[in-house]
Amino acid sequence: MSQGEHRLAAILAADMVGYSRLMEADERGTLARLRTHRIELIDPAIAKNRGQIIKTTGDGMLVEFQSVADAVRCAVEIQERMRRRNADVTDDRRMEFRIGINLGDIIFEDGDIYGEGVNVAARVEQLADVGGICVTDAVHGQVVGRIEAAFESLGEKQLKNIARPVILHRVVFGTLPSATEPAAAAPAQKSATKPTVAVLPFANMSGDAEQEFFVDGLTEDILTELSRRRELFVISRTSTFVYKGQAANLREVAQKLGAQYLVEGSVRKAGDRLRITVQLIDTTNDAHIWAERYDRKIDDIFAIQDEITAAIVATLPGRLEAAQHDQLARKKPTSLAAYECLLAAKVLHHRSTREANLEAQRLVDRALELDPDYGHAHAWRGCILGQSWGYGWCADKDATFAEVRAELQKALALDENDADVHRILAAVSITRHDLTRARYHQDRALALNPNYDLVVVQMGELLTWSGRGDEGAEWIRKAMRLNPHHPARFWSHLGKAYFVARQYGKAIESFMHLSAMDASQHAFVAACYGWLGDRTAAVAHLARIRELDPKFTIAAFLATTHYGDEVDRVHLREGLAKAGLAD
């Protein structure tokens, strides 16, 4: 390219909002997060849409595109992905961008670009909304009707240091489905035939912080019993407990969770007496359609649970004639103290820290001392030990794994109708590459609790390993609807399912929801780009793999997968080879 060459081009100007504030608060963290977004999201989107980064500053960049449509597609992709990445990020740490796009004459000189076309793009970017895109009329005229994006006219604007007024338009998000947006992103996509219920954390009215474990555990048990009803769609504990201790607007909570009905209540425990108040609310009209108060001796706790779940199901509109629920016999503990220890252990387990796990082990061990034949406690001891095994919190992984299996076998012998037992046994079978046995336990877990998000997502994983990626993705999206506040790893499961289904664009988009990826997740994304023929994006992810795991090899990576068909293992190997990774 000659010095001072003039050319018509689309120029994208991007700038990060609040860069100085973020740098002042956490310079190293801000730079690290920005670099991660560049490597995982922004640069691959630019490369995929055939853009060329001309200039970068600390908080912004100029990118040239030969196609106006490519420039707008790239901008929409970046902003939509960033919006989803920011969904669970606090305002003070959120990274957001403004983007402006102009089509005009530019001058290339000494590796930089100049001219009015560049100046207009920079000024247009300053008028964009936070997280938004603003384009000139020249850009709008080239792309309207050609790409899946909606626009709103902003009329004529006078730009700083630009003599003539410029007509501007902004991209309107949310009016059209994103081409790469996984269907599970919207909680509103719930079952049309089943009433959707969310059980909010009951309030502890005892004035004793020590009773929080008891109250949380009671809430969880009621939620679990409801979720065993096949005629209901029950939002998971992980999502509902986000609102613990909050005086939130119930209609807003219901909307965020995708639930029409909310169950809320309070518990007061004093000595051997227990008072539970509970009500069922139809959030479409804020109607309290049922309320009850239970004053009982604490020995009646299990009868109270049964009464509450039966009353809720019986009063849901349109469910009076619901199919009768299969009465599944579940053994109750003989010791109330054992029950309370297990409740506390479950709550600690959900915190997913080493310290909480150790305390959970101590409590579940105490529960089993008090009631050695408590099947559900054996199941949860296996689950809690399995957590320490999975996170590497145990001194001897082989011995811990053997203990997990022994606990599950005890639990199975004591209570074969416990969904958690079959869920964990299915997971163990997957790690042992025994997909036939895994499917047996998985089907049993689903039959026992069809609304348990961890059971549902694991069904998606199992189908993925079995080579049925499309079906796997459907189950994983269902788990996401059951738990709108699902763990980030659900996105990883979805990405792997789409990869098996050969839907590489959707697989990449799913992985991009992760705020950070490990080496294996980068490997899946690199393989996707390998199959798409995008070596530039693939190389960026291979570089991240080498940074995270310098000893990474294809053979070692494939050994961590659980594919039942060699075709799927070859498919992954070939994708990595196409990405540029050699054995």
Domain ranges of the chain: 5-179, 196-315
pLDDT at site 88 = 58
Q: Where are the beta strands (DSSP E) in 34-158?
A: 51-56, 60-65, 97-109, 112-114, 133-136, 150-157
Average pLDDT across the chain, whole number: 81
C-alpha distances in Å from residue 391, one per residue of 208, 219, 243, 378, 459: 33, 27, 27, 20, 22
When comparing pLDDT for 350 and 407, which is higher? 407
State the pLDDT confidence band at 332, using cuts at 50, 70 and 90: low
pLDDT of residue 174: 59
Please report which confidence band the pLDDT of residue 470 belongs to, taking 50, 70 and 90 as the band edges.
very high
Percent of the chain whose pLDDT exceeds 90: 31
Distance CA 63, CA 276 (A): 61
Task: Provide the 8-state DSSP code for 13.
Answer: E
- Sign of the Cα torsion 494, 500, 501, 502 reads positive
Quick: pLDDT tens for 407-451.
988 888 887 778 888 888 898 888 888 898 888 889 888 888 888
Read off the tokens for 288: 């309290």
The number of residues in the chain equals 583
Q: Pick the closest to residue 229 from 456, 415, 422, 447 (CA basis).
A: 447
Which of 103-112, 257-266, 394-403 ranks highest by mean pLDDT? 394-403
The pLDDT score that the predictor gives to residue 312 is 60
Q: Which is higher by pLDDT, 359 or 266?
A: 359
Highest mean pLDDT among 20-24, 35-39, 376-380, 563-567: 563-567
Say what the pLDDT of residue 96 is.
92
Amino acid 314: pLDDT: 52
| pLDDT mean over 61-68 | 90
Q: The tokens of 27 are what? A: 């310079």
pLDDT at residue 482 greater than cutoff 70: yes
**Fold of the CATH domain 196-315:** Rossmann fold (3.40.50)
- Are the C-beta atoms of residues 462 and 435 closer than 8 Å to each other? yes
- Phi (first) and psi of residue 7, to 5 degrees: -155, 150
Contact 189, 481 (CB under 8 A): yes
The three-class DSSP label of residue 89 is coil
- Supply the pLDDT for residue 190: 36
Q: Which of 188-192, 225-229, 332-336, 417-421 has the lowest mean pLDDT?
A: 188-192
- pLDDT, position 231: 62
CATH architecture designation of domain 5-179: 2-Layer Sandwich (3.30)
Greatest mean pLDDT among 150-164, 257-271, 555-569 = 555-569
Q: Which helix (H) or strand (E) holds 388?
A: helix 375-391
pLDDT surpassing 90 at residue 340: no
Residue 457 has pLDDT above 60, yes or no: yes
Residue 1 has pLDDT above 50, yes or no: no
Residues 514-536 have a mean pLDDT of 92
Query: Quick check: 208 pLDDT over 90?
Result: no
As a whole number, mean pLDDT of residues 349-364 equals 87
How much is the pLDDT for 313? 52
Give SS3 for 561: coil
Q: Is the distance from CB of 96 to CB of 82 less than 8 angstroms?
A: yes
Kindly compute the dihedral angle of the four CA atoms of residues 475, 477, 482, 485, in this order, to the nearest 10 degrees.
140
Most confident of 30-34, 252-256, 401-405: 401-405
